[in-house]
Structure 1
Amino acid sequence: MLGTVMFGGMLALMLLGVPILFAIGIASALGILTIGASAPWIIIPASMFNGMNSFPLMAIPFFVLAGELMNRGGISRRLVSFAVALVGHVQGGLGHANVVANAMLAAVSGSALANIAAVGRVMIPEMEKKGYEREFATGITISSSLLGPIIPPSITMVVYAVTAGASIGGLFLAGVLPGILMALLLMAVIYIRARKMNYPVNDSFTVRGVVDTGREAIIALLMPVIILGGIFGGIMTPTEAAAVAVAYALIVGLFVFRELKLKDVGDILANTGILTGFIMLIVGAARVFSDLLAQEAVPQAIAAVVLSITSNEILMLLLINLLLLVVGCLMDTTAAIIILVPILLPIATELGIDPLLFGVMMCINLVIGLATPPVGIALYLGADVANLKVEKVIRATLPFLIVQIGVLLLVTFVPAISLTLPRLMGY
């Protein structure tokens, strides 16, 4: 009864256009009214505080701030130039450079939306000048921006790790090979299209060009080395590594590239505060929702029902993936993780799925939802950056969506893709 009221209420509110934060909050209030005296109203502030009161979650504002500082400090332009020097000589070179730049920026920002804003404004106009359709250039940008939450450091994986009690470092490692595989397959789609449409080669390959652009790009790419090296070397926690990354980004922007001005810092801090505040409020609201379900043992009941449907592991995994894909189309990633992990992780554990593998599966599923209607925040941002109607952008992303679902299935049924690196590092 409780699960029906809360999930039904939340879905109805979202379909009416109510923002996800308020949809979750109102659904939680409906849950309290349904339970009655066993769930006093004090549970709302208490659960919200408990949800946000987490040291590992402090990594989120630091990662967001570091990404903002690096973007304002001229990092994006340098990474794009380096990417063009590396792969611009291939047929459809600017399309490949778009993917490579997003992959490199993913290792800096950890956010799909930050990637779209940073790379899209540079690459979409440039690709259009070179003869690419604006819709196709936008589709590439949106699809490759999804590497942001998969390639470490990933804000999405931090939220999953905190919710599931998993290792943040292990999850970061588990995302590396799936992210690289996705990037390569996206580039394969671009190459096939480039051959068919005879898209131009951007420039001939020169070692001098790679060295010149790489000299500045390497300064940016040292940031993920600091983050991941500090975590895996046991020197820093993920939160401490993120704080060090902020200091590094500030120093590079102010004193190395000198494109970041002190007057910009206030605006950057304000943007970081707005985005972080939104994320943390969703974390708090989703925790209330999750705690109410847990109090009434709803996750265990749902797990029992799901496991009674079939004992076939392959079919069960396909059903879980389908559910997550649908949820990703409708719900904010952070909220979906906090609400669904307590329900789905026990099912995954019962099937013998490693929590790290399940975390990567869940992140890829929900990230695909960022580029899928009706919520599809990445779709709307990409369309806005390119000044296009969303309908045209959706069509342009479809070939890449098929590739991403293919990667999801490979990750699901070939665990070594995700688990090889964590196992090598002892996670």
Structure 2
Amino acid sequence: MTFTLALLPIVLLFLGMPIFALFIFGAALSFAFFLSVPPVAMHQIMFGGLENYALLAVPFFIFAGELMGGSGIAQRLIVWVLALLGRVPGGLGVATIGACTLIGAISGVSTATVAVIGKALYPGLVKEGYGQRFSAGLVSSSGSIDIVIPPSIAMILYGASAEQSIPKLFAAGILPGILIAALMAGYVVVTAMRVGVATGRGFDLGYFLRTTRDAAPALLMPVFVLSSIYLGLASPTEAGGFACLYAILVGRYVYRLMSWEEVLDCAVRSAMLTTQILVIVASAALFSWILTVNGIPQALTAWLQSLELHPWSFLMAVNIILLIVGCFLDPTSAILVLTPLFIPLVKAFGIDPIHFGIVMTVNVAIGMFTPPFGLNLFVAQTVLGVPLETLYRGVLPFAVVQIFALLIITYWPELSLFLANAV
């Protein structure tokens, strides 16, 4: 069974087979040759993997992210951040990070953010003297903040898989997300001063107030969404539905930039992306079930406990594993397959599952832009027209910055748990 569950999926991955297909293929061979279970159980397990109320939030937040681009919300958030920064050194680069963070507070779809921010800010970054490589790397890596800043689809999937509170996970992700954004902004400022990038326009209070008035409906969106969750007024699923309705009303009747045909187009694109995610959820549930019934999580737990590792060394090993896995698997697959393996170990080492969820989320976020298969890299290549080689070189410094942030988040659990414990 080692061949069907380990070696075969790896071979198929490098041959370019879709993630969900290699999970199903390995599971089907296991059912055919190694398990005394009727094949009909495959369908039952796959559909059972989708029977989780928390997963209903996924299509809503994807739809909200799609609506942001056409409704004018994303564009006004970008303009407002630019007006706020004034003459900060590297202002446009910092604005790129700030805009990604704000957009992430509405929708946790990293690839969509890279596309929106790339189209809006990449030409200006190159024109101001950041260079093609640095600018492309900044856009590709900044989009990963969306996965950490709540609401986060990765956290929803982890919460559903690990049976943890999603509102607590959302609260736990706020300070780590801000830390990552702050460290990246600091690196951008230092780089801008070193290479002599011109500062932006001076802070103009009148212009800032005008942009604030224009962006007020957009700025209120994350406030309403997140406050409704943290105050207990709505579940994440209900808050996601509200975000969709709010974006439609603002785009259609406030900014008047979205027709009903465009709303339908956003719904179609969201349905396609949701299907891609949920088919991975179903196939990963099947794969994880086979691992569980064969006692692999229990055997792994017993083996690691026999090594008498300390919690800090276990977390370091997990970080290394997840960073490597993130180079090849998308966040959905990595979380759904590895969470059932890690959770028994996390509890055995006395690590808080909420804190571990944030550590895992940050790891897969870094994987979104690390070579060779980071999804943000392929989106950036398409949107920006930049060769992959340039993107690979451009994201490396930002990967170092985010790994440094990951170490802080890993070994300072209070950073994650401070707000989570208050929910």
| TM-score (normalised: structure 2) | 0.97
Counterparts in 2 of 1:196 and 1:400: CA distance versus 1, 3 Å: same
Corresponding position of 2:85: 87
Q: Deviations over 1:230-270 (max 9, x none)?
A: 11211111111111111111100100111111121221111
1:13 aligned partner, one-letter code: L
Corresponding position of 2:40: 42
2:359 aligned partner, one-letter code: M
Q: 1:96 aligns with which of 83, 94, 97?
A: 94
Q: Deviations over 1:269-323 (max 9, x none)?
A: 1101100000000000000001111111111112222332342222211111111
Q: Deviations over 1:157-186 (max 9, x none)?
A: 000000110001000000000000000100
Corresponding position of 2:326: 328
Equivalent position SS for 2:145: coil
Corresponding position of 1:151: 149
2:284 aligned partner, one-letter code: A
Q: 1:302 aligns with which of 287, 300, 303?
A: 300
Corresponding position of 1:55: 53
Q: Is the 8 A contact 1:178 1:411 kept in 2?
A: yes
Task: Find the aligned partners of 1:76 and 1:271 in 2 and give their Cα distance.
Answer: 17
1:408 aligned partner, one-letter code: L
Q: Is the 8 A contact 1:134 1:386 kept in 2?
A: no
Corresponding position of 1:418: 416
Counterparts in 2 of 1:3 and 1:301: CA distance versus 1, 3 Å: farther
Identity %: 37
Task: Find the aligned partners of 1:106 and 1:336 in 2 and give their Cα distance.
Answer: 20
Equivalent position SS for 1:392: helix
Greater shift in the superposed pair: 378-387 or 127-136: 127-136
Corresponding position of 1:136: 134
Task: Report deviation, 1:360.
Answer: 0.3
Task: Find the aligned partners of 1:268 and 1:261 in 2 and give their Cα distance.
Answer: 11
Corresponding position of 2:211: 213
Equivalent position SS for 1:108: coil
Corresponding position of 1:9: 8
Q: Deviations over 1:77-105 (max 9, x none)?
A: 11111111112411111101111111111
1:124 aligned partner, one-letter code: Y
Counterparts in 2 of 1:126 and 1:273: CA distance versus 1, 3 Å: same
Q: 1:68 aligns with which of 63, 66, 69?
A: 66
1:321 aligned partner, one-letter code: N
Counterparts in 2 of 1:292 and 1:81: CA distance versus 1, 3 Å: same
1:22 aligns with 2:21: yes
Structure 1: stretches of 5+ with no match in the other structure: none
Q: Is the 8 A contact 1:411 1:417 kept in 2?
A: yes
Task: Find the aligned partners of 1:78 and 1:389 in 2 and give their Cα distance.
Answer: 30
Query: 1:237-276 alignment to 2 at 5 Å?
Result: 237-276=235-274
2:13 aligned partner, one-letter code: M
Q: Is the 8 A contact 1:169 1:238 kept in 2?
A: yes
Q: Is the 8 A contact 2:20 2:280 kept in 1?
A: yes
Corresponding position of 2:280: 282
Q: Is the 8 A contact 1:87 1:93 kept in 2?
A: yes
Greater shift in the superposed pair: 157-166 or 106-115: 106-115
Corresponding position of 1:33: 32
Q: Is the 8 A contact 1:143 1:400 kept in 2?
A: yes
Query: 1:176-255 alignment to 2 at 5 Å?
Result: 176-255=174-253
Task: Find the aligned partners of 1:88 and 1:118 in 2 and give their Cα distance.
Answer: 22
1:352 aligned partner, one-letter code: G
Task: Find the aligned partners of 2:112 and 2:86 in 1 and give their Cα distance.
Answer: 23
Equivalent position SS for 1:52: coil
Q: How many residues in Structure 1 have an aligned counterpart in Structure 2? A: 423
Task: Report deviation, 1:132.
Answer: 2.3
Task: Find the aligned partners of 2:70 and 2:307 in 1 and give their Cα distance.
Answer: 51
Q: Is the 8 A contact 2:32 2:39 kept in 1?
A: no
Q: 2:392 aligns with which of 374, 384, 394?
A: 394
Q: Deviations over 1:115-137 (max 9, x none)?
A: 10111100001222222212211
1:414 aligned partner, one-letter code: W
Q: Is the 8 A contact 1:88 1:96 kept in 2?
A: no
Task: Report deviation, 1:32.
Answer: 1.5
Q: Is the 8 A contact 2:4 2:29 kept in 1?
A: yes
Equivalent position SS for 1:148: helix
Structure 2: stretches of 5+ with no match in the other structure: none
Task: Find the aligned partners of 1:175 and 1:411 in 2 and give their Cα distance.
Answer: 10
Q: Is the 8 A contact 1:3 1:298 kept in 2?
A: no
1:200 aligned partner, one-letter code: A
Q: Is the 8 A contact 2:72 2:255 kept in 1?
A: yes
Q: What RMSD, in angstroms, separates the aligned Cα atoms of the two structures?
A: 1.3
Q: Is the 8 A contact 2:248 2:263 kept in 1?
A: no
1:213 aligned partner, one-letter code: T
Q: Deviations over 1:314-342 (max 9, x none)?
A: 22111111111111111121121111111
Corresponding position of 1:337: 335
Counterparts in 2 of 1:123 and 1:297: CA distance versus 1, 3 Å: same
Q: Is the 8 A contact 1:65 1:246 kept in 2?
A: yes
Counterparts in 2 of 1:139 and 1:68: CA distance versus 1, 3 Å: same
Q: Is the 8 A contact 1:113 1:145 kept in 2?
A: yes
Equivalent position SS for 2:251: helix
Greater shift in the superposed pair: 355-364 or 307-316: 307-316
Task: Find the aligned partners of 1:344 and 1:217 in 2 and give their Cα distance.
Answer: 42
